[in-house]
């Protein structure tokens, strides 16, 4: 019925003549076999850092880089007081970052531990149709408990991604970076290279399972976590910074960087010609798109980077605010305030002195707006990257946002030493 092109693949795409481990078929169900040697990645350019998401290590099998990827249910803590039941890869949502070199031969051994069939699509990669990962079109679906091997040569360079080619599985969180570093490094070279994945979630307050059919969302994340739990991006003053920003959700996101101008140097299709670069500070990232921006970190400070859609900077606080604003009875208001009080009791919020309000505030239509959502949790979300931030900094962050911390040498080196030293180095942490 379906041949899936396995023999054609062997004839055309370099699998012929390679030693095949006993019991192993490429492009079909896998039974493990063959000797592997581990190796560290060798890149011509700086590795990409994806805060809060790990890299996927690889082994070498002759001249082939071998990655092992497992699709499975995961629990993802997206905020100090919110853990969701998502689907991801290797215990992570988003999945671990795959980094290769242009020209590499890549083999991905995929295991399905989901309760239903799935597949892997390599978004943006120009590879044989047999490796494209579309169920019933280019391959049989990978059944629960089965393994499947994808193998191809990466001739492109750029910021790509992998994801399940089933819409609702994507909305459950199944996506990860696939970065192909160029054979010859981009110019001008950068000193910092970061990756951010944008996702949206619809999760009821009393639930942990995302509603994948929803069209409105109350949790917005960078790399699987929501502000203020997002990890700040560190940059040494005077350095050049690259940000790879990827969106696979239902909404477009205008991502804005404070205090600096950047240029868009690439898309999900690869590097853009320098003649197309022009200064800007907000870039619209559509669904299934990646935008790569670069800038010179000229100005010291803690600079916000965030989606500029107002509701995407609020998370579930929007639900509470909506309840309060559309109230028709005192009971509705009491319910909203009760939810807020319950939330405050369940999380060790620190005291945040409320911002000043007018004496007649309660009589002004529309009040409160942001005053209703202020809360701080510095100690709950602290990590080396937050060292030295002003007291109550976390009260100013929520939703799809993080910050780029442009630091002088002394401050930058102090934080990096804490990261190297481990958790004990955070003792004695102070605010400015």
- pLDDT tens string 100-156: 999 999 999 999 999 999 999 999 999 999 999 999 999 999 999 999 999 999 999
Q: What is the pTM of this model?
A: 0.82
Q: How far apart are CA 246 and CA 60, in angstroms?
A: 28
Q: How far apart are CA 8 and CA 58, in angstroms?
A: 27
Residue 304 half-sphere exposure toward CB, CA atoms < 13 A: 17
At 66, phi and psi to the nearest 5?
-110, 120
pLDDT of residue 14: 36
In the predicted model, is pLDDT for residue 309 greater than 60? yes
Q: Is the dihedral of CA 204, 210, 213, 215 positive or negative?
A: positive
> What is the percent of the chain where pLDDT is above 70?
75
> How many helices (H) and strands (E) would you count in the chain?
6, 21
Q: How far apart are CA 107 and CA 66, in angstroms?
A: 5
pLDDT of residue 372: 52
In the predicted model, is pLDDT for residue 271 greater than 90? yes
In CATH, 8-185 is 2.60.40.420: yes
C-alpha closest to that of 304 among 391, 224, 398, 392: 398
pLDDT one-digit tens code per residue, 281-307 = 999 999 999 999 999 999 999 999 999
* Number of other residues whose CB lies within 10 A of the CB of residue 426: 15
Q: How far apart are CA 52 and CA 76, in angstroms?
A: 11
Q: How far apart are CA 295 and CA 136, in angstroms?
A: 43
pLDDT of residue 368: 66
> Which one is predicted more confidently, 2 or 276?
276
Residue 216 pLDDT grade (very low, low, confident, very high; cuts 50, 70, 90):
confident
The DSSP code sequence of 10-58 is: HHHSS-TTS---TT--TTSB----S--EEE----SSPPPB-TTSPBPPE
Cβ(103)–Cβ(154) under 8 Å?
yes
Q: How far apart are CA 189 and CA 241, in angstroms?
A: 9
Cβ(293)–Cβ(262) under 8 Å?
yes
Q: How far apart are CA 110 and CA 326, in angstroms?
A: 48
Q: How far apart are CA 97 and CA 102, in angstroms?
A: 16
Q: Which of 257-261, 324-328, 391-395, 396-400 has the lowest mean pLDDT?
A: 324-328
Residue 375 pLDDT grade (very low, low, confident, very high; cuts 50, 70, 90):
low
Residue 377 pLDDT grade (very low, low, confident, very high; cuts 50, 70, 90):
confident
Q: How far apart are CA 120 and CA 117, in angstroms?
A: 11
Cβ(89)–Cβ(58) under 8 Å?
no
What token pair was written down for 11? 């004839």
pLDDT of residue 387: 94
């Amino acid at each position: 019925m379906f041949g899936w092109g396995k023999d054609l693949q062997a004839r055309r795409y370099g699998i012929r003549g390679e030693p095949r481990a006993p019991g192993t078929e490429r492009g079909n169900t896998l039974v493990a076999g063959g000797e592997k040697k581990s190796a560290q990645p060798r890149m011509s350019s700086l590795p990409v850092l994806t805060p809060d998401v790990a890299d996927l290590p690889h082994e070498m099998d002759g001249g082939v880089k071998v990655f092992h990827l497992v699709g499975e249910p995961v629990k993802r803590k997206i905020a100090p007081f919110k853990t969701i039941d998502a689907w991801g890869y290797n215990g992570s949502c988003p999945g671990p970052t795959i980094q290769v070199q242009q020209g590499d031969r890549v083999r991905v051994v995929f295991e399905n531990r989901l309760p239903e069939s799935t597949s892997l699509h390599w978004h943006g990669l120009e590879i044989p149709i047999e490796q494209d990962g579309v169920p019933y079109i280019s391959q049989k679906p990978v059944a629960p408990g089965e393994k499947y091997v994808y193998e191809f040569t990466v001739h492109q360079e750029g910021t790509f991604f992998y994801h399940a080619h089933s819409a609702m599985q994507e909305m459950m969180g199944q996506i990860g970076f696939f970065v192909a570093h160029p054979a010859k490094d981009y110019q001008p070279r950068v000193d910092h290279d970061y990756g951010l994945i944008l996702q949206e979630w619809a999760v009821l307050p009393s639930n942990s399972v995302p509603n994948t059919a929803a069209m409105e969302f109350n949790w917005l994340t960078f790399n699987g976590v929501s502000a203020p739990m997002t990890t700040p991006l560190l940059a040494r003053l005077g350095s050049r910074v690259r940000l790879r920003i990827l969106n696979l959700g239902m909404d477009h996101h205008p991502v804005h960087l404070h205090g600096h101008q950047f240029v868009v140097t690439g898309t999900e299709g690869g590097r853009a010609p320098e003649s197309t670069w022009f200064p800007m500070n907000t870039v619209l990232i559509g669904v299934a798109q990646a935008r790569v921006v670069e800038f010179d970190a000229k100005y010291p400070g803690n600079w916000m980077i965030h989606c500029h859609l107002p509701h995407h900077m609020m998370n579930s606080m929007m639900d509470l605010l909506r309840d309060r604003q559309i109230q028709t009875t005192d009971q509705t208001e009491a319910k909203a305030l009760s939810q807020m009080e319950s939330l405050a009791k369940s999380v060790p919020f620190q005291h945040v002195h409320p911002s000043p309000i007018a004496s007649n505030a309660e009589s002004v239509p529309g009040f409160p707006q942001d005053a209703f959502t202020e809360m701080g949790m510095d100690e709950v979300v602290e990590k080396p990257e937050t060292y030295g931030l002003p007291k109550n900094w976390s009260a100013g962050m929520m939703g799809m946002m993080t910050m780029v911390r442009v630091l002088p040498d002394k401050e930058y080196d102090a934080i990096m030493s804490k990261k190297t030293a481990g958790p004990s180095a955070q003792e004695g942490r102070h605010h400015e």
